[in-house]
Amino acid sequence: MTPSDLAFDRHHIWHPYTSMTNPLPCYPVVAAQGTSLQLSDGRQLVDGMSSWWAAIHGYNHPRLNQAMQQQIGQMSHVMFGGITHPSAVALCRKLVEMTPAALECVFLADSGSVAVEVSMKMALQYWQARGEKRQQFLTLRNGYHGDTFAAMSVCDPQNSMHSLYQGYLPSHRFADAPQCRFDDNWLARDADSFEQLISTHKSSLAAVILEPIVQGAGGMRFYHPRYLQRVRELCDQHQVLLIADEIATGFGRTGKLFACEHAGITPDILCVGKALTGGTMTLSATLTTRQVAETISNGAAGCFMHGPTFMGNPLACAVASESLAILAENHWPAQVASIEQQLQSALLPLRDHPHVADARVLGAIGVIETHQPVKMADIQQFFVEQGVWIRPFGRLIYLMPPYVIEPSALKQLTDAIIAAVEQPVLFQAR
């Protein structure tokens, strides 16, 4: 890419959460292969991010490419209204088979945020069909569910800057974030705030929505499976639907195929996205039970009122189906377990470091929480100079590499983090 391309980008193109007047620098990537990103000057960076949880099998995967090429030869897209096609059926068969038995009706959409919108609309239509006016959601502080309006309304009120949109966002109920960590001893009082809110407001609650076990973009926190079990019990007891947002955690990242399995629970509605297509195309799915689907369908509307233009996009379905076929060969449990072990031995000792507030690892996710927020542009440049692609935010430096990463490449990533926490200039002053 030429300097003029980069200048154009800077002047005309928005990137995620950036300013148009004073954007953070962008690094030009021209190719990606396996676990490596190639910059336009030829440098290769080890990828620690899987392009935000997505590229679990690595980049430029021959089988994923072949699935897409084959589908392009048939048709890249066709409308889903009144039409079906083999790739959608193959994908949905696999999704129904690999998720808990009760989840058997699939809605395909374009992105994670839209899957969340769809899940919330399903819950609203469900209660409307049952003749109950239930229009609020109960969720957890520190959550993240996407950037569209309904999704944003159930994100952590501080992290997602609800104040910016005050008066426009519906207001929902927020339980205290779970404090018991994944492998702590369980303390039943951790769920007190949730229990109090659900029992007080049950008659106005359409659903509980949460990220099972891992709170991702809202803080990279791993909470206790008993918390999730308690949520399921209370939802059953008070007859409130449970929506599990597994958009980040789905497809093996936490060491289980779905994070709900850590607690042995089944949600009423499940959202998946991100890794669904192995990081190649944008696609998401919302699954629900026959009972929820039938109730909605027997309501006043007689149908579920949602239908995006690119619903069931054949190209995305074909590559998702192949990505799930790779997962079904079951190499991922050993890959994720060995990443977990290596992350634990490299990162957990940093807990004693004076600049580090906490270090935690679950599955193929490693998190370093520092005392001071990072200086974004400086630490990004530092990591690139170390030959790695790691994108921290706030006080969180975290890794979620592709499952196929080699131990030596993973060591490059953890070494770079260990080096970074030694450099006070990469962090904001106290």
Ligand X SMILES: *Cc1c(COP(=O)(O)O)cnc(C)c1O
Determine whether 168 is an active site residue: no
Interface segment toward ligand X; rule CB under 6 A; list 3-11, 84-92, 109-117, 410-418: 109-117
Structure token pair of residue 231:
């949520």
Q: With binding defined as CB under 6 A, does residue 266 bind ligand X?
A: no
Determine whether 202 is an active site residue: no
**Binding-site string for ligand X from residue 361 to residue 380, where x marks contact by CB under 6 A and - marks none:** --------------------
Interface segment toward ligand X; rule CB under 6 A; list 210-218, 286-294, 332-340, 351-359: 210-218
Q: Which among 110, 190, 256, 274 is annotated as catalytic?
A: 274
Q: Are strands 205-210 and 241-245 parallel, antiparallel or unpaired?
A: parallel
Residues 302-331 contacting ligand X, CB under 6 A: none
Residues 271-290 contacting ligand X, CB under 6 A: 273-274
CB of 359 to ligand X, least distance (A): 21
Determine whether 274 is an active site residue: yes
State the binding site for substrate. 52, 144, 274, 307, 391
State which of residues 117, 195, 211, 340 lies at the interface with ligand X (CB under 6 A): 211
Convert the chain into a string of H (helix), E (strand) and C (coil).
Answer: CCHHHHHHHHHHCCCCCCCCCCCCCCCCEEEEEECEEEECCCCEEEECCHHHHCCCCCECCHHHHHHHHHHHHHCCCCCCCCCCCHHHHHHHHHHHHHCCCCEEEEEEECCHHHHHHHHHHHHHHHHHHCCCCCCEEEEECCCCCCCCHHHHHCCCCCCCCHHHHCCCCCCCEEECCCCCECCCCCCHHHHHHHHHHHHHHHHHEEEEEECCCEECCCCCEEECHHHHHHHHHHHHHHCCEEEEECCCCCCCCCCCCCHHHHCCCCCCEEEECHHHHCCCCCCEEEEEEHHHHHHHHCCCCCCCCCCCCCCCCHHHHHHHHHHHHHHHCCCHHHHHHHHHHHHHHHHHHHHHCCCEEEEEEECCEEEEEECCCECHHHHHHHHHHCCEECCCECCEEEECCCCCCCHHHHHHHHHHHHHHCCCHHHECCC
State which of residues 48, 212, 216, 252 lies at the interface with ligand X (CB under 6 A): 216
CB of 247 to ligand X, least distance (A): 4
**Binding-site string for ligand X from residue 110 to residue 149, where x marks contact by CB under 6 A and - marks none:** -xxx--x---------------------------xxx---
Q: Contact, 153 vs 169, CB < 8 A?
A: yes
Q: Are strands 365-370 and 356-362 parallel, antiparallel or unpaired?
A: antiparallel
Q: Are strands 205-210 and 103-109 parallel, antiparallel or unpaired?
A: unpaired
| Residue in this structure with the two tokens 């580090």, named with its chain if needed | 356
State the binding site for pyridoxal 5'-phosphate. 112-113, 245, 308-309
Query: Based on CB atoms, which residue is closest to ligand X, 112 or 363?
Result: 112
Determine whether 403 is an active site residue: no
CB of 34 to ligand X, least distance (A): 23
Query: Based on CB atoms, which residue is closest to ligand X, 146 or 219?
Result: 146
Interface segment toward ligand X; rule CB under 6 A; list 3-11, 187-195, 211-219, 377-385: 211-219
Query: Based on CB atoms, which residue is closest to ligand X, 273 or 279?
Result: 273
Handedness of CA 27, 32, 33, 38 (dihedral sign): negative
Query: Based on CB atoms, which residue is closest to ligand X, 68 or 365?
Result: 365
Interface segment toward ligand X; rule CB under 6 A; list 107-115, 156-164, 310-318, 332-340: 107-115
CB of 51 to ligand X, least distance (A): 11
Residues 242-261 contacting ligand X, CB under 6 A: 245, 247-248
For ligand X (CB under 6 A), the number of binding residues is 15
Q: Which among 144, 223, 398, 403 is annotated as catalytic?
A: 144
Query: Based on CB atoms, which residue is closest to ligand X, 143 or 255?
Result: 143
Q: Which among 227, 245, 256, 268 is annotated as catalytic?
A: 245
Query: Based on CB atoms, which residue is closest to ligand X, 156 or 211?
Result: 211
Catalytic positions are 17, 144, 245, 274
Interface residues with ligand X (CB under 6 A) are 111-113, 116, 144-146, 211, 216-217, 245, 247-248, 273-274
